[in-house]
Chain A
Amino acid sequence: MLAAVRCIVYRDLLLAMRRRSDVATALLFFVIVASLFPLGIGAEPEQLRAVAPGVIWVAALLSSLLSLRRLFESDHADGTLEQMLLGSAPLGVIAAAKAAAHWLVAGLPLVAIAPLIALQYGLPSDLYGVLALSLALGTPVLSLIGGIGAALTLGLRGGGVLLALLVLPLYVPVLILGAGAVGMAAAGLAPGAQLLLLGAALVVAAAFAPWAIAAALRISSE
């Protein structure tokens, strides 16, 4: 079972490495969206500092959403998914491995690059740690919940917009907790409660989402 996990994570990372531009596009999208906000709302440092946690989190949400389509699509197209459904490894474990690989490719780079955006928005440097930590705890939840939507919309026409409609409302708690943690720290309070709740959300999502993804995959590839 662990061998299957290792195999799938390794394979997905290898595929991502072979198509580096896909990974770079999602990351670039994150940076561009975050850069659009000052152009839209004005460059007053006070205002930017106030909206920074929310903007960075919304940009992360959208960027993660953008790359969700890739999660199962190519596997579905070339028949690999069918082999995974037929194989001996439990489908839930495979789904968890796919979500983990998606996070490593689409979520982890956001964690790494977010302090750069925070710098642009003039956030004090002692908040970078909280921001990165909140993203590190929150983005895996996005990958897991998004995986359910990606599996449900597999092979449907207009799947991309539909996926956004299905998944974005479910992302709301993660957005509130993630941006809230940074906001609390910015206000000089301890962000521990939000971070713990994000961690709890991650544990719950990691426990249940893979099985929902598995059920959705079975339905989609009937």
Chain B
Amino acid sequence: MRWFWYASPQTFFPLAGTIARWCGLAAAVLAAAGLYVGFLVAPTDAQQGEAYRIIFIHVPAAWMSMFLYVVMAFWAALGLALNTRLSGMMASAIAPTGALFTFIALWTGSLWGKPTWGTYWVWDARLTSELILLFLYFGFMALKAAIDDPRRADRAGAVLAIVGVVNVPIIYYSVQWWNTLHQGASVSLTKAPSMAATMLAGMLVMALAFWLYSIAVSMVRVRAIIKERESSGSDPELAR
């Protein structure tokens, strides 16, 4: 594989289109299958009733929210180290999707919390660190939006993303520790130890669907960014 061949936005542009098309299609199919398994096949939970079915959206979204921040920081760091234009664009393209999944995880979590815990919000360690993760995404996007020169925005965003990715575990553990200090384990997110195989299958299929969706939508967004930034010349590839 000629990795650096695709490091140029011009050559990557058509490839991104192909990836977006296939990943988007696969994501739609998998999401339909996952939702079918989740809502119609998986059995009702003995303790939580039907409310637990939110995990088919909630858990994969929470996974993606954290994973995408690491991916974003990886691209940002790569851009800073190798000085490639595309890496910064990838980081910008991933950030909104990451923020979206963080928001979805928080939102579905609070919808699940109301019938199960009796409240929309508790200052649980995971909820709090997820909220702070959302702030980190917003900070990254706000910094990029505030800088007019895209190359400078990429590099400044990269420094912030790297500082953030070092901080995420520290924030997570400090919040967890703070939580145990203050209110004890009155509310625990730990699931029942054994999960029905269909539940797990539904969740994994949904996680895969979210993965593919993230890739597809990032590719669409990176194409938009390439067009926006590189549109000065009259490149026939970009005109398509």
Query: Which residues of A come within 8 Å of B, CB atoms?
Result: 145, 148, 152-153, 156-159, 162, 165-166, 168-170, 172-173, 176-177, 180, 183-184, 201, 208, 212, 215-216, 219-220, 222
A136 CA to B136 CA, complexed, in Å: 26
Partner of A212 from B139, B163, B170 at Cβ < 8 Å: B163
Q: Are A173 and B174 in contact (CB under 8 A)?
A: yes
Interface-central residue, A162, A176, A208, A212, by most chain B CB under 10 Å: A176
B142 CB-CB contact with A under 8 Å: yes
Residue B122 is within 8 A (CB to CB) of chain A in the complex: no
Distance of A144 Cα from B191 Cα, bound (Å): 40
Interface size on B, residues (CB 8 A): 27
Residues A165 and B142 in contact in the complex (CB < 8 Å), given A212-B163, A216-B159: yes
Q: Counting CB contacts under 8 A, is B15 at the interface?
A: no
In contact, B146 and A216 (Cβ under 8 angstroms): no
Contact B160 A166 (CB under 8 A): yes
Q: In this complex, what residue of A is CB-closest to B157?
A: A152
> Which B residues lie within 8 Å of A168 (CB)?
135
- Among A145, A173, A216, contact of B156 (Cβ-Cβ < 8 Å): A216
Residues of B within 8 A of A222 (CB): 152
- Does B132 lie within 8 Å of A152, measured CB to CB? no
B159 touches A162 (CB 8 A): no
CB pair B147 A172 closer than 8 Å: no
In chain B between 163 and 181, which residues have their CB closer than 8 angstroms to a CB of chain A?
163-164, 166-167, 170-171, 174-175, 177-178, 181
Q: Please indicate the chain A residues that have their CB under 8 angstroms from the CB of B138 in the complex.
A: 165
Contacts of B136 in A (CB 8 A): 169
Nearest CB on A from B4, distance (A): 24
Given contacts A176-B175, A212-B159, is CB(A166)–CB(B143) below 8 Å? yes
Please tell me if the beta carbons of A162 and B163 are within 8 angstroms of each other in the complex: no
Flag B132-153 by CB within 8 Å of A: 1 or 0 each: 1001101100110011000010
